[in-house]
Amino acid sequence: MRDVAVIGVGCTNFGEWWDRSFRNLFVEAGVMAIEDANLAGEQIDAMYVGNMSAGRFIEQEHIGALIADYSGLATENIPSTRVEAACASGGLAFREAVIAVASGMANIAVAAGVEKMTDVDTSLSTDALAAAADREWEGFVGATFPGLYAMIATDYMHRYPLTREQLAQVAIKNHYNGARNPIAQFQKEITLDTVLNSTMVADPLRLFDCSPITDGAAAVVVAPLETAKKYTDTPIKVLATAQASDTIALHDRRDISTLDATVAAGNRAFKMAGLERKDIDFVEVHDCFTIAEICAIEDLGFCKKGEAGRLTAEGYTALDGNLPVNTSGGLKACGHPVGATGIKQVYEAVLQLRGDAGKRQVAGAEIGMTQNVGGTGATVAAHIFGRT
């Protein structure tokens, strides 16, 4: 297997875009990434596109072909493949691109993610998102994503010492970071009152415990590490790519407050990279709801079960803390265009490792990690990156 590096990145602003279509968003991010890698489109050997539900959100399927066509690459006949794993679609698309280059099947591969969620009303987007859970056992009886994560939060708060105020600190921190990220959907700091007095969505989760509905796209270009310097002075090495699965329905889990797929993907990633938790300088985790960030920090092994709430409240995961978590603002403040999120996490990791993260730069960042979740944890992708 060859070592692989990220040589170019691009990302649209995340938000509610009435003036840009699904294909416009994708092309915008793709062109940014290709220009960043100093490439011509014809040099691309393969494309992998993360997308969860264009069929429900914009009534368009056959996304791989659509993207190749509107990127101007259909005439090059390059293979273009849609990857679907709910909210982990982007993370898995990235993994496929890395595997293609590592194996020698491709030299230059693009991994992208795109979702246009705001063309439908909230009831339809809620139902489309619920398709990432078990439709027969969860969706048909009315379980929504906020509802399922509320069950995780309730179970967690019953068993571990997490207060409502500590949970709110996840949102406060991520909005603070989002206010320093020019692509974030919400670039506004919030207070404890904002969270605690916001509308109840699914008890105990309030509006400001939830990621929003978002339009956006992100793209990255990967190449063999040995040739990466031909394209960029700052290639970022992919130190590990890992993936894991678990039961799709929450009630079948061994423990609903622990995402075993995160534990497995994290362990595999650390083993592949030959690193320990203490080597990680920052991590982008899948905070689709505030409780998800608490679980992620623990399930990746950065602290013991039951400690993440206290550590968050003490500033351990803040921008200037021991382990900055979600420097981009996370899904909570940066936004969550579901198929694009896993690629946006890679985008953020690359900016941090290049030293290009502006007001949210983690000083001296050498090694970063991403964790991207599909559903309530039935699919998890974990990646580790390092400066070269």
Residue 61 to residues 56, 66, 257, 299, 306: CA-CA distances in angstroms? 9, 8, 34, 35, 42
Least distance between ligand COA and beta carbon 386 (Å)? 28
- 87 tagged catalytic: yes
Out of 113, 212, 324, 339, which residue is the one contacting ligand COA (CB under 6 A)? 212
Q: Which of 87, 210, 295, 334 is catalytic?
A: 87
- 11 tagged catalytic: no
- Nearer to ligand COA by Cβ, of 114 and 338: the residue is 338
Least distance between ligand COA and beta carbon 38 (Å)? 35
Residue 207 to residues 80, 168, 211, 352, 357: CA-CA distances in angstroms? 37, 11, 8, 29, 28
- Say whether residue 211 binds ligand COA (CB under 6 A): yes
- Nearer to ligand COA by Cβ, of 70 and 137: the residue is 137
- Which of these segments, 44-52, 155-163, 208-216, 254-262, binds ligand COA (CB under 6 A)? 208-216
- Which of these segments, 40-48, 90-98, 201-209, 313-321, binds ligand COA (CB under 6 A)? 201-209
3-state secondary structure the chain: CCCEEEEEEEECCCECCCCCCHHHHHHHHHHHHHHHCCCCHHHCCEEEEECCCHHHHCCCCCHHHHHHHHCCCHHHCCCEEEECECECHHHHHHHHHHHHHHHCCCCCEEEEEEEECCCCCHHHHHHHHHCCCCCCCCHHHCCCHHHHHHHHHHHHHHHCCCCHHHHHHHHHHHHHHHCCCCCCCCCCCCCHHHHHCCCEEECCEEHHHECCCCEEEEEEEEEEHHHHCCCCCCCEEEEEEEEEECCCCHHHCCCCCCCHHHHHHHHHHHHHHCCCHHHCCEEECCCCEHHHHHHHHHHCCCCCCCCHHHHHHCCCCCCCCCCCECCCCHHHHHCCCCCCHHHHHHHHHHHHHHCCCHHHCCCCCCEEEEEEEECCCCEEEEEEEEEC
- Which of these segments, 45-53, 203-211, 227-235, 258-266, binds ligand COA (CB under 6 A)? 203-211
Out of 207, 272, 275, 303, which residue is the one contacting ligand COA (CB under 6 A)? 207
Q: Footprint of ligand COA on residues 79-118 (CB under 6 A)?
A: 87
- Say whether residue 57 binds ligand COA (CB under 6 A): no
- Say whether residue 128 binds ligand COA (CB under 6 A): no
Using CB under 6 A, count the residues that bind ligand COA: 16
- Nearer to ligand COA by Cβ, of 189 and 307: the residue is 189
Out of 94, 145, 270, 316, which residue is the one contacting ligand COA (CB under 6 A)? 145
- Say whether residue 122 binds ligand COA (CB under 6 A): yes
- Say whether residue 13 binds ligand COA (CB under 6 A): no
- Say whether residue 146 binds ligand COA (CB under 6 A): yes
- Which of these segments, 37-45, 102-110, 200-208, 310-318, binds ligand COA (CB under 6 A)? 200-208
Out of 23, 253, 336, 383, which residue is the one contacting ligand COA (CB under 6 A)? 336
Out of 213, 222, 269, 297, which residue is the one contacting ligand COA (CB under 6 A)? 213
Q: Which positions lie near ligand COA, rule CB under 6 A?
A: 87, 122, 126, 129, 145-146, 201, 207-208, 210-213, 288, 336, 338
Q: Which are the catalytic amino acids?
A: 87, 336
